[in-house]
Structure 1
Amino acid sequence: MSEPDQRLYFLLQRAAHRLRTAVDRRCLAVAGVTTAQVGALFAVQDRPGATQQELAGELGLRESAVTALVGRLTMAGLLSKQAHPSQHRAVVLELTDAGADALRAARPEIDRFNAQLRELLGEDGFVRTAEALHRLAYDWEA
């Protein structure tokens, strides 16, 4: 019996791609949004009035990518943009009623996905994995 593959970076990338593809299909079917869009909508819901620059920081994306993402969400009626009260080039983002509806529709799929991961990893493994990924995502310096 051969040892399992231990190329962790490769496995993380492959797992992330497969998970994103599967959950994108689910979220698109029930809510009409991708996981990237769900992430942006949740971030705006958590920080109403955030600027695109702040959203980019929260999502760990370049501002140009967030500009395109916000454009799609605005065109879909899920976000609204308003002029920033003190920064003449900035806009503030707000979740629309349709955006809140999309999040409500996506939530059961996200919860189902997390339940599947909890089953796969066990409760302790789920918590430990979430903690490790959080450290990698926010605290770790390569």
Structure 2
Amino acid sequence: MTDLTALFTDLVRLETRIYNAVDARLKAEHELPLGQFEFLRSIASRDTARVFDLARELAITVGATSKAVDRLEAAGRIRRTANPDDRRSSLLELTDAGADALAAATPTVEAELQTWIGSVLPAPVLEQLATNLSMLRQRAEVDSRTDRAET
């Protein structure tokens, strides 16, 4: 029987080590922390983005998201525009500088992930891992939304 506590520990430690490696490379080569890369990627992947949307997608607080958005805006990588449907929120979009930073950093992230993950696991194992992690993440996100709705 699988020791779930050991599995959890391995998963967390692996995530930490990979995150730190990718973050260090992005900072060194692009002066872009991995956290900001993730925000740029998330904003670029949708038609409209609000701070609340990003917080939910990235599983962090609205306050932390707002601070990250402030940093990206100060760096000229995103802009806020008035939300015509809700005066209490703004819509976020990449600037040309943000799109350029994302385009330049994406191959670096992909190369680092290839080194850490893609070159280690055979393709069928990697595909199964991706499927299983997606399933677990979806379950966790459903459970998280259910917990918030009950409080």
Scaled by the length of structure 2, the TM-score of the pair is: 0.84
What is the CA RMSD across the aligned residues, in angstroms? 1.6
- The answer for the alignment partner of 2:137 in structure 1 is 137
Matches within 5 A, 1:84-99: 84-99=83-98
Cα distance between partner residues in 2 of 1:13 and 1:130: 16
Residue 67 of structure 1 pairs with residue 66 of structure 2: yes
Q: Deviations over 1:69-127 (max 9, x none)?
A: 11111111111111111211100000011111111111111221232211101111211
Q: Deviations over 1:44-79 (max 9, x none)?
A: 001142111111122122111111111111111111
Matches within 5 A, 1:75-114: 75-114=74-113
SS at match of 2:79: strand
Cα distance between partner residues in 2 of 1:131 and 1:68: 32
Scaled by the length of structure 1, the TM-score of the pair is: 0.89
How many residue pairs match? The answer is 137
Contact 1:80 1:95 in 2 (8 A): yes
- The answer for the alignment partner of 2:9 in structure 1 is 10
- The answer for the alignment partner of 2:24 in structure 1 is 25
Q: Which moved more, 1:56-65 or 1:18-27?
A: 56-65
Structure 2: runs of 5 or more not aligned: 145-151
Contact 2:76 2:98 in 1 (8 A): yes
Residue 125 of structure 1 pairs with residue 119 of structure 2: no
Structure 1: runs of 5 or more not aligned: 1-5
User: 1:135 corresponds to which letter in structure 2?
Assistant: M
Percent pairwise identity: 32
Q: Deviations over 1:3-24 (max 9, x none)?
A: xxx7011111111111111100
Contact 1:83 1:90 in 2 (8 A): yes
Contact 1:45 1:94 in 2 (8 A): yes
Cα distance between partner residues in 1 of 2:47 and 2:71: 18
Cα distance between partner residues in 1 of 2:58 and 2:22: 18
Cα distance between partner residues in 2 of 1:82 and 1:43: 17
Cα distance between partner residues in 1 of 2:32 and 2:20: 12
